[in-house]
Amino acid sequence: MTAVSESLMTTEEFEELARAADRVGEGVRLEFIDGQLGAKAMPDGDHGCIIQWLIRTFLLVRPELFLTPEQGLKVGQYRKGRARPDGVLAAATAFAGHGEWADPGLVLLAVEVTSSDQDTERRDRQEKPLAYAATGIPIYLLIDRELGELTVYSEPTPSRYTKKLTIPFGATVTLPAPVNVELDTEPLKDWVR
């Protein structure tokens, strides 16, 4: 017997709900991955510092690329899912003329910074690596504040990333091609509470 997973809403219904949630501004961001509705807590100050650190780092070493915070992406099977990574790295003008939900084919790297909410394990550590790999995003960078470590997922296949490298905050890591950037993660120690 084959199990069939059916979504409770269509992608269009999700997009309408997400727009309404953004207008109300209740402190959450909605996502729709693998037919499941999810909510992310709004980022705190330390979370914001980490994203700003990454923006400055990429600006200095790869000025032709922009790290865009919270760019909506079409993810999941047949692109019916919707995710809003904490940051996406792409060519400076990659999202010009695109709507709220862009094609992930333009993205070189997706970044998630964990928050202290109950869905972090499922969302950031389990669902996002699968969804981003399936879309072909070359690198998924997970900055895990709870565990004090950074994980680089690379070499995507339609079902998963085939390489995974985890280092503790304070170590240096080189993000592989097509990004080719060395990150000294020492500053991350300052933004863990």
Confidence band of 76 (pLDDT split at 50, 70, 90): confident
The stretch 65-72 carries a mean pLDDT of: 94
* Percentage of the residues of the chain whose pLDDT score is greater than 70: 75
Q: How many CB atoms lie within 10 A of CB 107?
A: 26
The stretch 102-126 carries a mean pLDDT of: 85
Higher pLDDT, 10 or 22: 10
Structural domains in the chain, sorted by start: 43-191 (3.90.1570.10)
Cis peptide before 187 (omega within 30 of 0): no
Give pLDDT, residue 125: 84
Confidence band of 10 (pLDDT split at 50, 70, 90): confident
From residue 90, alpha-carbon distances to 81, 94, 103, 108, 150 in Å are 20, 6, 11, 6, 20
Give pLDDT, residue 115: 80
Higher pLDDT, 55 or 19: 55
Higher pLDDT, 100 or 171: 171
Q: Is the pLDDT of residue 114 over 70?
A: yes
